[in-house]
Each structure stands twice: as C-alpha cells, then as structure tokens.
Structure 1
Amino acid sequence: MEEEEAVIGLPAIMKFTGLVPIMIGMLIIIWPKNILAVGPYLSDYGLYLGLYVGVLAIIFGVTHWIVAIFVKENLHIFGRFFVIGHSLIALLEMYGWATDLIEFEPKYIFGTMFPFATAFVLLLYSLNPKKSDNVEEN
C-alpha cells in the first residue's frame, strides 16, 4: 500500500505561521506596556513606535495569508523568503539581549521561540516543492 501524503501542505503552514505575527501585532497594539520587552519603561514616543511595530507585524502576517491563497506555482520560494524574515526577527531579539538593550529574563525565551519555530516549520515544508498538476512536463 502506498503511504498517504501529509494532510497539511505548505499553504496551510504559511497561514498558520502568519497567525503568529498577526496575534502578536494585535497584542502590541492593545497592550504595548505588557507585551513589549521593555514596555513598562517606554516613553510616549516608544509607545507610539510600538504601534508601528504592531501594525507591521500584522502586515507581515497578512502577507503570509495573501501569498498562501494566491500563489500556487512558486509557493516554496515565498516560504523560504519568510524563513529569512522570521529568523531575522528572532536574531534581532537575541542581539538585544547580547548588547544589553533588552534585559535578559528567562520569560523572554518563550517569546523568542515563536519566530524560530515558525522559521523552522516553514523551512521544513518549503524544502521539497510539490509538483503542480497544471504544469506540463516536456
């Protein structure tokens, strides 16, 4: 008997990984002092900048959804591109810890796992592109 293929494909994974920045962006907009690492110490300007960060996170997540819905042929390329984005977000967080821009606390490790986890899952699902049924082989 032939093994069944995975039920969850790259479009579903991209939508799932797009939910993480959408949720985080909404939380940053609603509760910036609780969600941002240095939130209690932010001035009004920092809180205003946090709104931009929240909106950009939402846009980043929505682009995952738009690409997953409308792109069929080269979806794995976009998946790899989003791996870079999620990895950079996590690396910037770690840079903040290494340079003492953000005081390191163990509770922040949990929040940093999300970008690394989404990047890893996207990378796994975008390594082997699925051949489309629409493409004629020469």
Structure 2
Amino acid sequence: MPTANEIMEQFYSAERVFMSSPPDQADFSGMAKVFSPDIVFRQTPALVYGGVYEGHEGFRRWAKRMNEYFSKVDVHPSNVLEKGDDVVILMTVDFKVRKTGEEFSMPMAQHVKVDQEKGVIVEFWPYYWDVALVNKMLGKED
C-alpha cells in the first residue's frame, strides 16, 4: 500500500509531464491514474483559474486551463506531514508562463486527502503564498 507522500510524488511527476507538453498534446491519463473518480479539487476563487473542480472531467478542465497558462509547474517539497490519509506538503513551486516565457517561484502549501488502500487522491486544496503575483504574471491584474 503506498503512503500518502508516495501518491503525491506520482501526481507531481505526472503533472510535470502534462504541463511541459504543448496544450494540444497534453495527455491527462498520467494524472488520472492517481485521482479518485470522485476527486474534489478546490482552487481559491481569487485566481484566474479558481473554482471547485469535481471528478476526472473537472480536474481535466482545470489541468487544461493550467497548461494553457503555464509550460512549467515544478513542485519542490520541503516538508511533508502525513497522518493516515491526510498529507500536508510545504513546498516551493517553479512556474513558467507559456505566453511570455517569464519564470517565477513561490512558497505554497497543499492539504490533500488520499485513499491509501486504492492509491488515489480524493480531495486537494492548494494554498498560494501570493495569489496577486500569479494573476499579475498571467496578465490578469485587478
């Protein structure tokens, strides 16, 4: 049975591949393998790609939007706190804006619930250090 952290590492690996692919060639199947069919993914509504995304189709819609915005989303965990099916990951994330080629990094945290028996992610909440910076880098300032 995989640990919560091992499940997250599978996701981060698949996410790197997906984001580095051109939007018309990005293959969602690698990420789909680590998601429950009923996954609930919550992005802060303050982001240009914010919202609640449910199920594989919802997560695919979010991932497609992210892939249109970014050509790189590279997660570097610095601390992983696990308790059963709950995991909190403290990290730095490197982003590259697809449209401009600009790169930036920021600290983030994620709270994730997994189903270790099935080896899948059930719920996912990312917390950005600087939402305004992300929106600005994507040309969406208020």
The structure with more radius of gyration: 1
Q: Same fold (TM over 0.5)?
A: no
TM-score normalised by the chain length of structure 2? 0.29
TM-score normalised by the chain length of structure 1? 0.30
Give 1 or 2: higher strand fraction: 2
Give 1 or 2: higher helix fraction: 1
Instruction: Using CA pairs under 8 Å that are at least 6 residues apart, name the structure with larger relative contact order, 1 or 2.
Output: 1
